[in-house]
Amino acid sequence: MNAIVLSETRGPAIMPPDPILSLEDLSVVFGDLVAIKALSLAVRRGEFVSLLGPSGCGKSTLLKAIAGLVPPTGGKIVRAFASMSASFMFQKPLLLPWRTALDNVLLPVEIERGGNAVDSSDRRNAERMLNLVQLGEFAGAYPHQLSGGMQQRVALARALISNPDVLLLDEPFGALDELTREVLNEELIRIWRSMETRLSTVIMVTHSIPEAAAMSDRVIVFSQRPARIVEDVPVDVPRPREPGDVRSAAFVRRIRALIRSGR
Ligand SMILES: Nc1ncnc2c1ncn2[C@@H]1O[C@H](COP(=O)(O)OP(=O)(O)O)[C@@H](O)[C@H]1O
Ligand SMILES: [Mg+2]
C-alpha cells in the first residue's frame, strides 16, 4: 500500500521534477521597443540554468520580469507555489559605502521589517550568511576595505538572507578578474548544492560559454532582440565537475557555433 501511495505521489524516479517557474508566451515591450516576444520557458526545481545571448537581446529584462521588477506586457509568469521567492544579484555589488558588510547583508531584512529594528536573531542570520560566503571575519569591514570579489560575496550573502527558492544572477562575476571569478563560481555551486539554505534553483545570465557550460544543467541560447530561444542545450556532465570536463565537449562547440552564427 505504502509503495503504491509513494509511486502515486512522487512518480517514478526518472520523471523530471515539476517546474518551479514557467514563462508562458511572455512579452515585454518598452514603448516601441519589443524586448521579449511570446517567450515560453519552464525552469525545473533544483535546476541551474544559464542564459546566453547577444548583448541587448533582452536577458536582463527577462530576469527582471521574473523578479517582478518589470511588468509583463503579455503572457504570464507562473510560480509553482504562492510563497515562492526569488532574489536578484547584479554585476555590481551595489553596497552602501557607509555600512559594514554585516549591515549591508541586513538591509533587505530591515526593509522587510518596515522600519522596525532588526533583532539579534536577524544579526545571527546575517553572520551565518557571511560565513556561508566565507567572509565571517569581515563582518565589521566597510566596502572600501574589501576587494571586488569580497564585495560580490557580500552581495551574494545579501541576496541569500531572505532565504530565496530561486536566485537570479545577472552576470554576477562579470566585472571580476578571471581567477576570482573561477573561485566565486565554485563557491556559488557549493552554496547552491548545500542544504544550508532553501535555495534550489539558479537562473544565471552570463557572457561566457565555458562558464555557462561548466556551471549549468542547461544552457539556453537566445537570438537577437526580441529574445527567442534558439536552442536549449542540456549539459549532461556529472558533478562535481572540473573545468576540463566541459571545455572541449561537443555541446560547447555547438553553443559557440550558434552564438557566432548570430541567429
Ligand atoms: N526600462 C527600459 N526602458 C526602455 N528600454 C529598455 C529598458 N530596459 C531595457 N530596455 C531595452 O530593451 C532591450 C533589452 O535590454 P536588456 O534586457 O538589458 O538586454 P541584455 O541584458 O540581453 O543585454 C535593449 O534594447 C534595451 O535598451
Ligand atoms: Mg543585461
Domain span at residue 246? 17-85+200-263
142 domain residue, yes or no: no
Output the CA 30–ligand 1 centroid distance in Å: 8
Residues with Cβ within 8 Å of 222's Cβ and at least 6 positions away in sequence, in order, are 51, 52, 53, 54, 57, 58, 59, 228, 229, 230
118 domain residue, yes or no: no
Q: Tell which residue, 180, 246, 190, has the closest CA to residue 214.
A: 246
The mean of the pLDDT values for the chain is: 89
* DSSP letters spanning 78-115: EESSTT--EEEE-SS----TTS-HHHHHHHHHHHHHTT
Ligand 1, residue 62: give the atom nearest the CA: 17
CA distances from 143 to 118, 126, 149 (A): 21, 16, 11
194 domain residue, yes or no: no
30 domain residue, yes or no: yes
71 domain residue, yes or no: yes
pLDDT tens, position by position, 12-59: 455 567 899 999 999 999 999 999 999 999 999 999 999 999 999 999
pTM of the model: 0.91
**Which CATH number is 42's domain given?**
3.40.50.300
| Amino acid found at 138 | F
pLDDT > 50? residue 2: no
Q: Are 203 and 197 in contact (CB under 8 A)?
A: no
Ligand 1, residue 53: give the atom nearest the CA: 22
Query: Tell me, what's the pLDDT at 259?
Result: 81
CA distances from 252 to 170, 185, 240, 245 (A): 21, 18, 18, 11
Rounded CA-CA distance 163/223 in Å is 33
Q: How many domains does the structure of the chain reveal?
A: 1
74 domain residue, yes or no: yes
Ligand 1, residue 31: give the atom nearest the CA: 4
49 domain residue, yes or no: yes
Rounded CA-CA distance 152/133 in Å is 10
Site to probe by mutation for ligand 1, drawn from 60, 73, 207 as the one with most ligand atoms within 8 Å of Cβ, is: 60
Mean pLDDT of 221-231: 91
80 domain residue, yes or no: yes
Query: Tell me, what's the pLDDT at 114?
Result: 85
pLDDT > 90? residue 243: no
Ligand 1, atom 24, lies closest to the CA of 56
